[in-house]
Amino acid sequence: MALYVLYESASGYGLFLAHGIDEIGQNTEAVRSSVSDLNRFGKVVKLAAFTPYESALDALNQCNAVSEGQMTDELRNFLELSLPKVKEGKKPKFSLGLAEPKLGSHIFEVTKIPCQSNEFILELLRGVRLHFDRFIENLKPGDLEKAQLGLGHSYSRAKVKFNVNRVDNMVIQAIYILDTLDKDVNSFSMRVREWYSWHFPELAKIVNDNYLYAKVAKYVDDKSQLSEDNLSGLTEIVGDEDKAKEILEAAKASMGQDLSPIDMINIKQFAQRVTELAEYRKNVYDYLVSKMSDIAPNLAALIGEVVGARLISHAGSLTNLAKCPSSTLQILGAEKALFRALKTRGNTPKYGLIFHSSFIGRASAKNKGRMARYLANKCSIASRLDCFLDKSTTTYGEKLREQVEERLDFYDKGVAPRKNIDVMKSAIETADNKEDETMVIVNGDSTEEPKTEKKKKKEKRKHEVEEEKQEKIDVNGSNVDDGTAKKKKKKKSKDDEIVVDAPAPTTEGKKKKKSKVTG
């Protein structure tokens, strides 16, 4: 049986025919030893056909198709032209060797060409890759390397393509930076407190906030030089005049030791670094809030920016979080406790990262598990909406948050919450109305047509209701003729003949009766 080998190079598809397979007996070791020597390998493997790619874009498309295990039309045409034809009802007298088993299965499904992929085929392909430039005629030295480099770059760029406005990787990095900054600012602030307390120990009891303490320490510098002139500067930093006066009085009767100018300079510089870090932490938090409003607005509106970002970073991406069921999302971050409980056959954890949400803290002790399950359900819905919606909106997240609030009231006070269908219908309506408003604002008069149609329908309904009310009033009151006229107008559109003839019999009948009586 003849053996053909398909090699996908950076410049095109190559089909090679392997001779003398029976003599070798498909010995992998024999092929491995003959691969390095071109004279021996050239006797076993020979080029049967070669088709180059049309362009760099075509090469990228072919490479993507091969990596996904799909056969393109170009590859199918090449195989059907180059390989012997497979007759129906007869066993083929050849087989095709490939490096990708998925591609081989797809080729066999479509063309019925028998394919195989094993160590022996891989060794043959290794030899083909090593001596490929020798098999192809009119190939200049360096052309193959350039094609490989260009295809490698374009393939890598295509794999990492993303939407710049919806990059969840930025959120993951921002929440990591935020967590590390929290730890660093806290530890550095404690170091400032300990260091400056040697000089001014009473300040630690007066100013509790770490950021303010670092700013005050930098402003005060030497406590002996504090006077009433510094009161306005202290009140600006602390924000309270009484507290500023207390600092001034404490500085006069302080028990701290004096420090040398060099030590004071180092303390001031370190306090400056701490304040800068704290301000940078605020900037990172603002950046995280803005990115979450772009990437996951509904999740941020439901559970908050920080907790939502932690969920995304723990899952790996927003897509992975959207794929998670609510039961998995509920215990994200509590994996150790879960597996320990499964190992010891104890109680499994009720919540993971979503414990940091305010809803869990507000729920009573007996309802915390219920609340966590319900909140995880809503978070999974919000993450899927954020992941798969084309237009970003916070409407669904706000409505889901209302549902969670109603569920809290139901657990505490017994107030029945609204049904999920009603809430989602109202969310869809509000989202559509917001889209209409934004379209009108952006495009001006161009989007007035759909809105006017809705207005016309509403106006028609209002007119009908008003007419019915007026008819009832006219029937009960004196103006009967006006009511009949309105009825005529209403019925004219449906049936003109009935409208004209309907009121006539009443008046004419009366006249006839009168004429008969008189006669």
Fold of 2-160: Nucleotidyltransferase; domain 5 (3.30.420)
Per-residue pLDDT at 424 exceeds 50 = yes
pLDDT score for 122: 87
Residue with the bigger pLDDT between 83 and 446: it is 83
pLDDT score for 273: 94
How large is the average pLDDT for residues 228-248? Answer: 88
pLDDT score for 502: 41
Please give the C-alpha separations between residue 460 and each of 401, 451, 471, 480, 518, in angstroms, as whole numbers: 36, 14, 16, 24, 49
Per-residue pLDDT at 498 exceeds 50 = no
Burial class (CB in 10 A: 0-12, 13-18, 19+), 261: exposed
Element (H, E) at 30: helix 28-35
Fold of 296-438: Serum Albumin; Chain A, Domain 1 (1.10.246)
pLDDT score for 388: 87
- Whole-angstrom Cα distance, residue 496 to residue 489? 9
- Whole-angstrom Cα distance, residue 301 to residue 289? 11
- For 267-307, the pLDDT digits (tens) are 999 999 999 999 999 999 999 999 999 899 999 999 999 99
Give 94's contacts (C-beta < 8 A, 6+ positions apart): 1, 2, 3, 4, 83, 84, 114
- For 172-182, the pLDDT digits (tens) are 999 999 999 99
Q: Tell me the percentage of the chain whose pLDDT exceeds 90.
A: 23
- Whole-angstrom Cα distance, residue 70 to residue 384? 29
Per-residue pLDDT at 332 exceeds 70 = yes
- For 431-476, the pLDDT digits (tens) are 888 777 766 655 554 444 444 444 555 566 666 666 665 655 554 4
How large is the average pLDDT for residues 326-335? Answer: 90
Edge-first strand order for the sheet with 2-8 is 45-52, 12-18, 2-8, 94-97, 115-116
Confidence label for 478 from pLDDT (cuts 50, 70 and 90): very low
How large is the average pLDDT for residues 407-427? Answer: 88
pLDDT score for 110: 87
Alpha helix stretches (DSSP H) within 160-209: 168-196, 203-206
- pTM score, whole prediction: 0.58
Q: Tell me the percentage of the chain whose pLDDT exceeds 70.
A: 80
pLDDT score for 519: 35
Domain boundaries, the chain: 2-160, 182-282, 296-438
Burial class (CB in 10 A: 0-12, 13-18, 19+), 275: buried
Tell which CATH architecture fits domain 182-282. Answer: Orthogonal Bundle (1.10)
pLDDT score for 452: 45
How large is the average pLDDT for residues 67-72? Answer: 87
How large is the average pLDDT for residues 353-372? Answer: 90
User: For 49-53, 131-135, 334-338, 353-357, which range has the lowest pLDDT when averaged over its residues?
Assistant: 131-135
Residue with the bigger pLDDT between 335 and 451: it is 335
Closest alpha carbon to 98 in 66, 63, 73, 68: 66
DSSP 360-415: HHHS-GGGHHHHHHHHHHHHHHHHHHHHH-SS--SHHHHHHHHHHHHHHHHHHH-P
**Average pLDDT score over the chain:** 81
